[in-house]
Chains A and B, each alone.
Chain A
Amino acid sequence: MKKKWISILLVVVMATAFFTGCSGSSEPKGDSEKGALDYSTIKIGEITSLVVNDGGWCQATHQSLLAAMKELGIPESNLVVIENVAEDQTSVANAYNALASEGVNLIIGASAGYATFLSDLAASNPDIVVAQQGDQVPNLIGYQIRNYEGMFLAGYASALMAESDKLGFAGSMSEASVRAAINGYALGAKFANPEAKVQLVWANSWYDVDLETQSAKTLINQGIKFMGMEASSPAIPQTCQANNAYCIGYNVDMHDLAPNAVLFSYMWNFAPIFKDILTATVDGTADSSKYYYEGGDCAQLSPFNDAIVPADIQEKVLSVKAALDRGEIQVFGGELKDNEGNILVADGEVMSDEDIKVQKFLVENVIGSWK
Chain B
Amino acid sequence: MISFITSICAAAIVYAVSILYAAIGEIFSQRAGIMNLGIEGIMLMGAMSGFMTVYHTENLLLAFLVTILVGLLLGLAFAFLTVTLQADQTVCGMAFLIFCSGLSGFLGKSVTGIASAVKFEPIPIPGLSSIPVIGEIFFQQDIFVYLMYLVIPLSIFYIYKTKAGLMLRALGENPASLDQAGINVFAMRYGYVMFACAMTTISGACISLSYTNFWNEGMTGGKGWIAFSLVAFSRWNPAYAVLGALLFGGISILGINMQVYLPGVPSQFYGMLPYAATVVALVITTGSFRKKHSEEPAALCQKYDREDR
Interface residues of A (CB under 8 A from B): 50-51, 53-56, 59, 84, 174, 199-205, 207-211, 213-215, 217-218, 220-222, 233-235, 238, 242, 256-257, 367-369, 371
Contacts and interface: CB of A to CB of B under 8 A. Distances in A.
Nearest 7 A/B pairs, CB to CB: A55-B113, A202-B267, A53-B113, A257-B115, A208-B221, A53-B112, A214-B256
B23 to A, nearest CB: 16
Interface of B: 3-4, 7-8, 11, 15, 105, 109, 112-115, 122, 207, 211-214, 216-219, 221, 223, 252-253, 256-257, 259-260, 263-264, 266-268, 271
B117 to A, nearest CB: 9
A205 B259 CA distance: 15
Contact of B221 (A56, A59, A209, A215): A209
Given A199-B260, A209-B219, A234 B15 contact: no
B122 A242 contact: yes
A233 B219 contact: yes
B246 to A, nearest CB: 15
B256 A233 contact: no
A215 B256 contact: yes
B216 A55 contact: yes
Contact of A234 (B115, B252, B260, B263): B115
B256 A51 contact: no
Contacts of A208: 221
B263 A368 contact: yes
A217 B7 contact: yes
Given A201-B259, A213-B11, 17 more contacts: A51-B217, A53-B109, A202-B259, A209-B211, A209-B214, A210-B221, A213-B211, A214-B252, A215-B256, A217-B7, A218-B253, A218-B257, A220-B7, A233-B216, A238-B212, A256-B115, A257-B214
A238 B116 CA distance: 12
B75 to A, nearest CB: 25
A175 B58 CA distance: 39
B207 A209 contact: yes
Nearest to B5: A221
A234 B116 CA distance: 12
Contacts of A238: 212-214
Contacts of B8: 221
B109 A234 contact: no
Nearest to B263: A369
A59 B214 CA distance: 15
Contact of B113 (A59, A174, A209, A242): A59
A204 B259 CA distance: 11
Contacts of B223: 210
7 contacts: A53-B113, A54-B113, A55-B214, A210-B221, A234-B213, A238-B214, A257-B115
A217 B253 contact: yes
A303 B4 CA distance: 35
A55 B112 contact: yes
Nearest to A170: B256
B15 A210 contact: yes
Contacts of B212: 209, 233-235, 238
* Residue from B109, B212, B221 with most neighbouring chain A CB atoms (10 Å): B212
Contacts of B105: 51
A301 B207 CA distance: 29
A24 B116 CA distance: 46
B259 A368 contact: yes
Contacts of A234: 115, 212-214
Nearest to B257: A218
A231 B218 CA distance: 16
Given A214-B253, A235-B211, A369 B266 contact: yes
Contacts of A53: 109, 112-114
A214 B11 contact: yes
Nearest to A369: B263
B256 A201 contact: yes
